Amino acid sequence: MTSDIRHKKMLTIDAKNVDFYYSEFHALKNINIEVEKNKVVALIGPSGCGKSTFLRLLNRMNDLIDGTRMTGSVLIEGKDIYAPNIHVDELRKEVGMVFQKPNPFPKSIFENVAYGLRVNGIKDKTFIEERVIESIKSAALWNEVKDKLNKSAFALSGGQQQRLCIARALAISPKVLLMDEPASALDPISTSKIEELIYELKKDYTIMIVTHNMQQASRVSDKTAYFYLGEMIEYDDTIKIFTNPTELSTQNYITGRFG
Amino acid sequence: MKRFFEKLVEGALLISGSITSITILLIVIFLFKEASGLFNSPVIEDGYVLAFNKDNPVKKLSSYQIKQIFDGAITNWDEVGGKEEPIEVVRLSDLTKYYTEAELGANFENIPAKASELTAKHPGIILFLPNSYIAKNFDGTLLKHETLRPGDFFGGKEWYPTASPSPQYGLLPLLLGTLWVSLGAILLSLPFGIAVAVYLAEISTMRVRNFLKPVIELLAGIPSVVYGFFGLVVIVPFLQKTFQLPVGETGLAGSIVLAIMALPTIITVAEDAMRNVPRAMKEASLALGATQWQTIYRVVIPYAKSGITSAAVLGIGRAIGETMAVLMVTGNAAVIPHTLLEPVRTIPATIAAELGEASAGGGHYQALFALGCILFIITMIISISVEFISSKKYSK
Amino acid sequence: MTPIINTGNIDRKKRISQGVAFTIFKLMSYSVVAMLILILGFIVSKGIGAISWDFLTKAPEEGMTKGGIFPAIVGTLCLVAGSSLFSFPIGIMSGIYMNEYATGNKVATFIRIMTNNLSGVPSVVFGLFGMSLFVNTMKFGDSILAGSLTLGLLSLPLVIRTTEESLKAIDNSYREGSLALGATKLQTIQKVVLPMAFPNIITGLILSIGRVSGETAPILFTVAAYFLPKLPTSIFDQVMALPYHLYVISTSGTDIEASRGIAYGTALVLIVIVLIVNLLANFLRNYFSKKVKTN
Ligand SMILES: Nc1ncnc2c1ncn2[C@@H]1O[C@H](COP(=O)(O)OP(=O)(O)OP(=O)(O)O)[C@@H](O)[C@H]1O
Ligand SMILES: [Mg+2]
């Protein structure tokens, strides 16, 4: 099942000619993006340019909104995720998501992380327990919560809650991790913890992260895509985007001249 | 001037705003005022007395004991704390068994003297006579000022306000009847209500919802007497046939009608509660590969628990207070119910059915107001618990 | 981390259980519609035969087994008018006070809790209360006045709540805009807030009329007459009323079987009132919400 049996050059994410509409509103215009395995891609751009919309296309979260429409194709590990034989719940198991605001369930810390396992039909207690611990450790949260796994997740700080949400997403071992401004609601210390974490996670996952923080984008990502008014203006290596962007609009945004 | 006018208007608005509070206060005052005489009302019919032999050690009898004695259920004084002595029940009409009509006098002018004599002669006698036939020098004990005790009302097992000589105002059969019918109703309508609420809040398309909402509103708008009428002409005969009952007017008929009537309340409140579940919570679940149904029963319903509880409690409240529909279909037998297939009688139905016959200020009238107080207290408890439940949301 | 072992089977199970659950929910939801159709259909089909011009304009005859229900219609109209006269102004003023003057403070919370409590009080308790206060203590006797006041109090919470909600729906920016132009609070409410909230308030009032016209228990001991062919001439007169009439002829009339036709007809009239009220309310709601959007 792991992709090493497959073709080495297989792209993890491959979006082609993607257009997206909220009813009449044309929110994404002809987006093309390719992401290789174990890379971190940052999406940047001014508010309302469609970053979240694009991210939510990758795990078909936009299906939940009435009146939306998409054209073009999105392949994840070579599979067209908008093909009719795809079941969204199976897709979302492969493509995990961390939201802007931490959104733990009103359950215990343990149950939060175990949730994804349980809904996917895993009943083996020891397996669940091992997996929960492993995930919390991967999310760099273990030392802080190991004594209170049965306490409510709401008792954690915002930064801890966000790492819990990351642990929750990791528990079902997705191939791709989508993060929509995962640190925007957090203080600087929690933010740097999340950034370190992303650096660690890169070894096992392909990550796409939306951020408004230029330093963050340049610190954590390998590649950066700049969105503006529903269009992807530029997509290149992060170093290139931040030192020598091709487009003027990109440069203006990065240097803070607008946005 | 303008300022003054503004203040004046604000004052008027404040007064209007306080009307509901004042009304509640007034309801409390008037209901309890009318009911307060209950425990000062005599255990025996107004204008009558009970008399015993003066050597009889029994000086007091409760309302229920009197009823049992006159029904022949108690036949010996030792059962009510007296000596071993058979009870001899004598009513006014029974006097002719002891005396000839000549002895009682052409205009019954000798009754007082004879009654006194009879009581003195018979150690086991209990004599029930109008006040006016009691001589000044009556030779016996008079049970005249005995009043109804709280136990007779709150613990009373019989509601029989026309019983003679001692009307029975026992709350229990009515209270249990009310709870029994309401419980049946809520058991029928809660699963339904929650299912519809889930469907509306989480599953249906906007178009279907826009069709279902007015249907539910309409169901809520149908007057209770129309429900009662429908129950009477459709549900009651149906139950009678299906279960081969002597009468179709049963607790179950009441429960079914009430279940339909409570449905809109339950659906609306539960749906609101589910709509209030944060989107983020549902998205988190879906993003982990849960299906919509898993999300509903693992996240949405647990999160909306307090709202769903409120819905159930409010539904029970509606059922407990409902009057006309229940009055029309439950058969109104004031006995402690054992199954839902017997006639039962609820508190509101009793008030509605009997207040017209009860003379103002009498024991029966006061007992009905006491029932009103009980009903009022139950609904206040329900309102307060709903307030409490809904204030106890998830703290973040 | 190793991926979770093949769970393809689970995925199918999940979807099947979802399919089953959703089908059940759908069926249950539509059975509510079926219930409504059953009740309405039954009463309409049985009652339509009884409806005639005479039925609507004549008094009952021959022990209420023949004739019409005109006095009951008039009585119900009187009660609706009387109770509205009382509950509309007070309810609206109360709603205004809660949303515009006592915003968010303890007084508003207190009034809200009391209003909720009042709306939970069973209608038969209102009947007891109305009898004790209006009929006996204030000596109005069994009269339109006593019945209207009782019904008015009963419908007050509904009026207050809809007013408050209608006002709440209006964005604060409108108020601020008006106040910024130097209008007083009262002027703002009068000229800006109320006109905007008006459509929704009207909808609530119409629904409360529907509720009042069907109430029976509160009028049992405050106004309703068993049989009174004479129309009322003052507010101290007793009247017949549709819901009470239906109750009487279906449970304790002189000849229950013979008056069944009349009973179906009366039930139909009540249902029609409810239908009109609901349709009107829905129509107004849609009409005004469209209008607001296009403006
Ligand atoms: N549910 C929706 N219905 C209609 N339009 C929407 C919806 N969600 C977003 N939009 C519109 O789509 C555009 C893109 O929104 P999106 O949330 O993707 O922006 P974003 O780049 O993530 O912005 P931000 O940085 O503020 O999060 C915006 O103009 C927004 O108004
Ligand atoms: Mg966004």
pLDDT score recorded for residue C85: 94
> Do residues A106 and B303 make contact, with C-beta atoms less than 8 angstroms apart?
yes
Mutate to test the interface with A, among B209, B281, B288 (most CBs of A within 10 A): B288
Asked whether residue A111 carries a pLDDT value surpassing 90, the answer given is yes
To the nearest 10°, the Cα dihedral for C78, C80, C81, C87? 140
Asked whether residue B73 carries a pLDDT value surpassing 90, the answer given is no
Q: Parallel, antiparallel, or unpaired for β A206-210 and A176-180? A: parallel
pLDDT score recorded for residue A2: 46
C-alpha span between B277 and B313 (Å, rounded): 20
Residue B45 carries which DSSP code? -
pLDDT score recorded for residue B359: 81
pLDDT score recorded for residue A239: 92
CA distance B146 to chain C (A): 27
What pLDDT digit, counting tens, does each position of B206-256 carry? Answer: 899 999 999 999 999 999 999 999 999 999 999 999 998 888 889 999 999
Q: pTM value? A: 0.88
Helix (H, G, I), strand (E, B) or coil at A37: coil
Q: What is the residue whose two structure tokens read 């199918």?
A: C12
Share of chain A above pLDDT 70, in %: 95
| Average pLDDT score over chain A | 89
pLDDT score recorded for residue A166: 92
Asked whether residue B393 carries a pLDDT value surpassing 70, the answer given is no
Position A201, amino acid: L
Asked whether residue B395 carries a pLDDT value surpassing 50, the answer given is no
C-alpha span between C140 and C133 (Å, rounded): 9
Q: Which of C2, C3, C10 sits opposite A121 (nearest CB)?
A: C10
pLDDT band at C2 (very low <50, low <70, confident <90, very high): low
Asked whether residue A177 carries a pLDDT value surpassing 90, the answer given is yes
Chain C residues with beta carbon closer than 8 angstroms to that of A136: none
Residues ≥6 apart with Cβ < 8 Å to A201: A138, A166, A170, A177, A207
Ligand 1 pocket: which residues have CB below 6 Å?
Answer: A 22, 25, 27, 45, 47-53, 65
Q: Is C128 on the interface with B (CB under 8 A)?
A: yes
pLDDT band at C227 (very low <50, low <70, confident <90, very high): confident
DSSP bridge partners of A108: A152
Tell me the torsion sign for CA atoms A251, A252, A255, A256: negative
pLDDT score recorded for residue A223: 94
Chain A residues with beta carbon closer than 8 angstroms to that of C17: none
| Furthest-apart CA atoms within chain B: distance in Å | 101
What pLDDT digit, counting tens, does each position of A34-64 carry? Answer: 999 999 999 999 999 999 999 999 999 998 8
| Average pLDDT score over chain B | 87
Residues ≥6 apart with Cβ < 8 Å to C258: C65
DSSP bridge partners of C66: C61
Mean pLDDT of B174-183: 92
Q: Give a yes or no: residue C22 inside a domain.
A: no
Return the ligand number nearest the Cα of A99.
2
Asked whether residue A1 carries a pLDDT value surpassing 60, the answer given is no
**CA dist B160 to B48, B64, B334, C287, Å?**
18, 11, 8, 56
Asked whether residue A5 carries a pLDDT value surpassing 50, the answer given is no
Note down the domain range covering C200: 64-294
Question: Given an 8 Å threshold on Cβ–Cβ distance, is C28 in contact with B196?
Answer: yes
Question: Given an 8 Å threshold on Cβ–Cβ distance, is C32 in contact with B263?
Answer: yes
pLDDT score recorded for residue B238: 94
- How many other CB atoms sit within 10 Å of the CB of residue B132? 10
Give which of A119, C32, A136, A39 is closest to B259, Cα–Cα. C32
Residues ≥6 apart with Cβ < 8 Å to B312: B186, B190, B266
pLDDT score recorded for residue C295: 46
Ligand 1, closest atom to CA A54?
Answer: 18
**CA B72 to the chain's CA centroid:** 29
Phi, then psi, of B322 in degrees rounded to 5: -65, 135
Give, as residue ranges, everything with CB less than 5 Å from ion ligand 2.
A 52
Question: Given an 8 Å threshold on Cβ–Cβ distance, is C4 in contact with A120?
Answer: yes
Ligand 1, closest atom to CA A22?
Answer: 4
CA distance A137 to chain C (A): 11
Asked whether residue A212 carries a pLDDT value surpassing 70, the answer given is yes
Mean pLDDT of A95-110: 92
H-helix or E-strand containing C66? strand C66-67
- How many other CB atoms sit within 10 Å of the CB of residue A170? 25
**CA dist A146 to A98, A137, A190, B279, B306, Å?**
22, 9, 18, 29, 30
Q: Which of B288, B298, B395 sits opposite A92 (nearest CB)?
A: B288
pLDDT band at C5 (very low <50, low <70, confident <90, very high): low
What pLDDT digit, counting tens, does each position of C161-171 carry? Answer: 999 999 988 88
Ligand 1 pocket: which of A18, A24, A26, A53 to mutate (most atoms within 8 A of CB): A53
Q: Can you state the percent helix, strand and coil of chain B, rounding each to 5?
A: 65, 5, 30
What number is the ipTM of this complex? 0.91
Give which of B22, B28, B364, B225 is closest to C219, Cα–Cα. B225
Closest residue by CA, ligand 1 atom 31: A48
C-alpha span between C63 and C227 (Å, rounded): 9
Asked whether residue A6 carries a pLDDT value surpassing 60, the answer given is no
Task: Report helix angle C70-96 to C242-251, nearest 10.
Answer: 130
H-helix or E-strand containing A21? strand A13-22
> Do residues B299 and B282 make contact, with C-beta atoms less than 8 angstroms apart?
yes
Please confirm whether the linkage preceding B42 is cis (ω < 30° from 0): no
DSSP bridge partners of A34: A14
DSSP bridge partners of A70: A20
Mean pLDDT of A79-100: 91
C-alpha span between B346 and B170 (Å, rounded): 13
| Residue in A with minimal Cα distance to C9 | A121
The token duo for B244 is 């081969």
CA distance A92 to chain B (A): 5
Q: What is the residue whose two structure tokens read 């009515």?
A: B174
pLDDT score recorded for residue C64: 67
Q: Give a yes or no: residue C267 inside a domain.
A: yes
Mean pLDDT of B202-206: 90
Asked whether residue B109 carries a pLDDT value surpassing 50, the answer given is yes
How many A from CA of A68 to the centre of ligand 2? 17
B13-27, B113-127, B345-359: segment of lowest average pLDDT:
B113-127
Closest residue by CA, ligand 1 atom 29: A48
Asked whether residue B396 carries a pLDDT value surpassing 60, the answer given is no
pLDDT band at C253 (very low <50, low <70, confident <90, very high): low
> Do residues A103 and B278 make contact, with C-beta atoms less than 8 angstroms apart?
yes
Q: Give a yes or no: residue C28 inside a domain.
A: no
Query: How many domains does one find in chain C?
Result: 1
Task: Report the number of secondary-structure helices (H) and strands (E) in chain C.
Answer: 12, 2
Mean pLDDT of C196-207: 89
CA distance C118 to chain A (A): 34
Residue C181, phi-psi category: left (phi > 0), alpha (psi -120 to 50), beta (remainder): alpha
Interface of chain B toward chain A, CB-CB under 8 angstroms: 205-206, 278, 280-281, 283-291, 294, 298-299, 302-303, 394-396
DSSP bridge partners of B42: B147
**CA dist B254 to B222, B316, B330, B345, Å?**
16, 13, 5, 10
Domains with residue ranges and CATH for chain B = 48-145 (3.40.190.10), 172-395 (1.10.3720.10)
Q: Parallel, antiparallel, or unpaired for β A25-35 and A13-22? A: antiparallel
pLDDT score recorded for residue A3: 46
Give which of B260, B138, B273 is closest to C31, Cα–Cα. B260
- Domain CATH number, residue C97: 1.10.3720.10
> Do residues B368 and B354 make contact, with C-beta atoms less than 8 angstroms apart?
yes
Select, from the ranges B62-66, B86-90, C92-96, C228-232, the one with the highest average predicted confidence (pLDDT): C92-96
Give which of C190, C191, C188, C194 is closest to C175, Cα–Cα. C188
**CA B60 to the chain's CA centroid:** 29
Q: Is C110 on the interface with B (CB under 8 A)?
A: yes
Where do the H-state alpha helices sit in B72-199? 95-98, 101-104, 111-121, 150-154, 172-198
